[in-house]
Amino acid sequence: MHIKDVTFSVVDVETTGLRPTYERIIEIGIVRYRNGEIIDSFQSFVNPGRSISTFITNYTGISDDMVEDAPYFEEILPKLQDYFDGTVLAGHNLQFDMGFIRAEFQRAGNPGFRPIKVCTLKLARRMYPFLKSKSLSNVAAHLKVRSAGAHRAIYDAETTARVLDRMLKAKISENPDFRLNDLIAFETSAKPTPARLQVNQNLVETISSVPDAPGVYYFLDRTNKPVYIGKAKSLRDRLKSYFSGTAPSKSKKLLRTAKKLKIEPCNTELTAFLTEAEMIKALKPKHNVMLREYGNKYYLRMRRDIPFPRPEIASSFDFDGNDYFGLFVSRKKAQQVLEIIDKAFQLRECKESELKKGRRCYLAEIERCTAPCENKNQDLYSEEIRAVYDFLEGKNNDRLSLLISKMKRLSDALLFEQAGELKAVIELMLAQIHKSSLLSEPVNAANVLVLVDGQTAQDFILFLEGKVYIKDYLLSDSREFFNALDDYFAGVIQTYSVPDDEDLEKLKICMNWMIKNKNQIKTYYLKNYRSKEELFSLVSKMKKTASPEGEYIFDIKDVINEFEQ
């Protein structure tokens, strides 16, 4: 059967837990899809015959009250059988949904449910291996599929159907005669086994002598010019992976073209990231595709020269008296935070020209704006600005409590779509507060020393109003670090201290790494100390031994005997 003639029943379930044997379905959503069109849908809450935990209610928005009068699964079974009959069952991570559906079918007296199945998660693993996460939201974002809502069955089923549509169109473009059997074979086919690499076992001890420490490694050609630069959390483990008998094709390609391998240990994984990025830009090895140029960077700017400012996206920051928050790696990330502010706070969203007209707008009517156009109340507006600053600086915010209460009121009033939208805003706020709490000051005003804790060593990174200084950094003079500290505590004004592209690139890498590794850092705000000596008297109590110094160089032809042909 040609794939265009196949009808899919795209399904998603919400449940009381993770184990089909013991837990129950509380909501099921099904979308019928064929040849690019959604032709029908079905959604129902399901009475699980038990209470729903607070965790599940917070996660899905589904409470005991919402399922109290819902049908039991056996009551909707005939409807489900009609939906599934003659269709191919599809879902994202379908194994999870199928486990619960089969268990419910069996409990309802129908143990023989064995449909043809297609899983978009498995397809994503084959079609988009470069995606770090193959979650439904990530795959949908990659395919530019807009999600109607998260963690509600019918919304996730609709999103999955549109993801499946994009996938099938891609396969049809490759093969116009693409059929259902081709899809199933593609989903289940095994990946090819890579050719084995023959390694000189006499050098196993030499490889094992490499430090189990973070660092940077360089593949060099016959003229000692780098052809590839990489970083590693453990140089020893990374080296072993390159010279293992089942090394991936990229490794084997490098080993064919390179003649030597140079390794430089670093104190922590973060300085390995920084060194790699800086060296790739400086040397531009032919096998490094990423990090060759400085990427775009975005900030949220809050003007301080007007009475009723609103945050706006900026692609650079200056010392112009305004406050800048970020840094964001893409305009999309900055836009997401701007949308959170618009939905959760009562700042104006209008242009200056509209503000000057002095007329209330719809946002003021629904309490999404303090209406400064009409009341000119700068104190009221400043309170809202302070709440936004607290949010952008990662502080616990009373606004979250208000939004959570509002979400519960909407849910109690059975306004589930509005409650779901508000729940998504709350989740984004929580995630952003987690990120923003790294720096409790605007990035262009932050003066902070960050201690980065590695397994056996530490790094000290100094942020001074956007400039970045690193103690004992491979690529800079450590005197710069101490001179910058001395100048700060002496009150010296530096005329050359405007951050350059390299500073901003380091800042971006540091912020991204620290967000993911908050338990490995400690921040010291310089304004809380009277001198460098007072600062280091506290910091030195936590000092560890340094990472192994020096570099290691291997001749690749001594390590490898030959490739199997």
DSSP-assigned letters across all residues of 415-468 = -HHHHHHHHHHHHHHHHHHHHHTT-SS-TTT-EEEEEEE-SS-EEEEEEETTEE
Of 388, 299, 291, 386, nearest to 341 by C-alpha is 388
Peptide bond into 327 cis (omega under 30): yes
pLDDT at residue 27 in the model: 94
Q: Which fold has domain 3-188?
A: Nucleotidyltransferase; domain 5 (3.30.420)
Range list of H helices, 189-329: 204-208, 235-242, 249-257, 269-283
| Phi, psi (degrees; rounded to nearest 5) at 154 | -70, -35
CA distance 80 to 62: 21
In terms of DSSP bridges, do strands 8-15 and 88-91 run parallel, antiparallel, or are they unpaired?
A: parallel
CB 15 within 8 A of CB 24: yes
Under 8 Å CB-to-CB from 409, ≥6 apart: which residues?
none
237 neighbors 189 (Cβ within 8 angstroms): no
Q: Which tokens in the block code for residue 389?
A: 């600053």
Helix (H) or strand (E) holding 515: helix 501-516
Query: How far from 481 is each of 149, 255, 462, 468, CA to CA, in Å?
Result: 48, 38, 7, 9
Place of tokens 């939208």: 421
HSE on the CB side for 132, CA within 13 Å? Answer: 0
- Cβ–Cβ < 8 Å for 183, 122: no
Spell out the domain ranges in the chain. Answer: 3-188, 197-294+551-563, 298-436, 447-542
Q: How far apart are CA 84 and CA 63, in angstroms?
A: 28
The dihedral through the CA atoms of 390, 396, 402, 403 has a sign that is positive
| Low-confidence spans in the chain with pLDDT less than 50 | 192-195, 197, 199-200, 202-203, 559-565
* Confidence at residue 153, expressed as pLDDT on a 0 to 100 scale: 84
**How far is the CA of 371 from the CAs of 374, 383, 384, 395, in angstroms?**
6, 13, 12, 26
Return all residues near 98 (Cβ < 8 A) that are at least 6 apart. 89, 91, 117
Can you say how many angstroms the Cα of residue 318 is from the centroid of all Cα atoms in its chain?
28
Task: Provide the token pair at 96.
Answer: 């999870």
Supply the DSSP symbol for 179.
B
At residue 565, the pLDDT reads 31
pTM over 0.85? The answer is: no
d(CA 173, CA 180): 15
Quote the strand ranges of 507-559, DSSP E: 521-525, 552-555
Cβ proximity of 439 and 393 under 8 Å: yes
Q: Residue 365 and residue 427: Cα distance in Å, rounded?
A: 25
Structure tokens at 387: 């709440």
pLDDT computed for residue 503 by the predictor: 82
How is the beta sheet containing 260-265 ordered, strand by strand? 226-232, 215-220, 260-265, 552-555
Return the structure tokens found at 33. Answer: 């899809």
Domain 197-294+551-563 is in which class? alpha beta
